[in-house]
Amino acid sequence: CAFTRVTATIPLRRVQAVKIARGLGHLWTGRAAVRVETAGGGASGKSGRSEREWIAPILPVSELDQLVRQILPDVPLETVEWLPVADRAFVRRARRSSMVAFVLGLASIPWTGWWAAAITPVLVVLGIFLSRQYVRGLGWARTDHAMYFRSGWLRRNITIVPLPKIQCVQLIESPFDRRHAMASVSVDTAGAGAHRIAVPYLLRPVADGLRAALAEHA
């Protein structure tokens, strides 16, 4: 509300994660929104409660790294080396999107008739395009101090979790992952909320190594 002002003080030791979001408006204007997630110490006094506070709803991207360093001094953002997911991630994602588009095309026959023959290829092409953009937006990194995860295309998100704040590390392997020798690695903290770290489409040896490295701090 424009007439309501809120001031909050958050001890840095309570910060569980730093989350950066950039929607279309932020991308067009070269800005980002930053919030921190904490655990416990909420207004209700309930232990373990997750709190999410916007630190900078509209921040110039040029000041983003400086703000992150003020919150997490040992966690750089500009110099982080992002790693991609497995090369076959796009093939898997595109295949699934194509199957969904084909089913939607068949389901539309009672309403569109033979127009479904024209709609289905369009849906397939759109699904492949969105799959490409989704995979391109994925990235992860691990340093001596933090775990990073990014995702999104039209709305881009980055989550940074200090390693000492990690409480649980999971390696998830679906039947489709096993078929392609892949797995996903997820990280939970006491203040986990929206856009938690869950890195999909990792080659199994990479996922095993990442899980083992993070588990040392969990």
79-100 residue pLDDT tens: 999 999 999 999 999 999 888 8
**Burial label, 118 (beta-carbon count in 10 A; 0-12, 13-18, 19+):** exposed
Res. 192 pLDDT band, cuts 50 70 90: low
Q: Is 208 helix (H, G, I), strand (E, B) or coil?
A: helix
Average pLDDT over residues 19-33: 94
Residue 191: band (very low, low, confident or very high) from pLDDT cuts 50, 70, 90:
low
Beta bridge partners of 157: 21, 151
Give the H/E segment covering residue 118. Answer: helix 116-137
Pick 196 or 117 by higher pLDDT.
Answer: 196
Give the phi and the psi of residue 64 in degrees, each rounded to 5.
-65, -50
Q: What is the pLDDT of residues 138-175, one digit of tens each?
A: 999 999 999 999 999 999 999 999 999 998 999 999 99
Distance CA 128, CA 123 (A): 9
Q: How far is CA 129 from CA 17, 47, 124, in A?
A: 31, 45, 9
Say how far residue 216 (Cα) sits from the centre of its chain.
22
181: left (phi over 0), alpha (psi -120 to 50) or beta: left
Q: What is the pTM assigned to this prediction? A: 0.86
What is the C-alpha separation between 160 and 35, in angstroms, rounded? 11
Enumerate helices (H) and strands (E) in the chain, giving the number of each. 7, 9
Residue 188 falls in which region: left (phi positive, over 0), alpha (psi -120 to 50) or beta: beta
d(CA 131, CA 196): 20
Tens digits of residue pLDDT in 102-113: 787 777 777 777
